[in-house]
Amino acid sequence: MVAAAPPPAAHVAAAPPLTLRGRTSEGAPMALTVRGGRIVRVRVTLRRYVCVPEGDIAPLAVDDPASGRIGAAGRFGFTTGPLSERLRLDGRIAPGRRAARGSLQLRGTIGTGDPCRSRRVTFSLA
């Protein structure tokens, strides 16, 4: 008896992820994990995260599972994370998926409900 071949979707899901690493314009480490046509995880440290009236409470590490679709031209734009820490990413992955550039911003609240946000930060990953 011959085993049936797995459906095509199983091949995509089984593809190993690719992690692009680099630094933000603040000099902090960042990584994006890509699988198939999606960004599936983002890890970044923000050096400034200002809450009103508390002030800067950084550094703040963000490690979120994501589900950001990568368009045909390599462009992406999505928001991830809980309401208390919403991370917006916009950028482009180069052909061959060996590098990425873009920008990000974190907005949210702290336990008191006071609003917080980072500056818009650029990144370059390879």
Q: Where are the domains of the chain?
A: 16-121
For range 10-21, the mean pLDDT: 75
Q: Return the exposure string of 49-78: e unless at least 16 CB atoms fall within 10 Å of the residue's CB, then b.
A: bebeeeeeebebebeeebebebeeeeebeb
Looking at residue 12, what DSSP letter applies?
H
The two three-digit tokens of residue 38, written as one number: 């999606």
Residue type, 107: R
- pLDDT higher than 50, residue 11: no
pLDDT band at 15 (very low <50, low <70, confident <90, very high): confident
The two three-digit tokens of residue 2, written as one number: 């011959």
For 16-121, CATH number out of 2.60.40, 2.40.128, 1.10.3470, 3.40.1620 equals: 2.40.128
pLDDT band at 104 (very low <50, low <70, confident <90, very high): very high
Distance CA 110, CA 47 (A): 17
- pLDDT higher than 70, residue 26: yes
- pLDDT higher than 70, residue 4: no
Task: Note the pLDDT of residue 64.
Answer: 94
Task: Note the pLDDT of residue 91.
Answer: 98
How confident is the model over 87-101, as pLDDT tens digits?
999 999 998 888 999
11 sits in which H/E element: helix 8-14
Q: Is 42 exposed, middle or buried (0-12, 13-18, 19+ CB in 10 A)?
A: buried
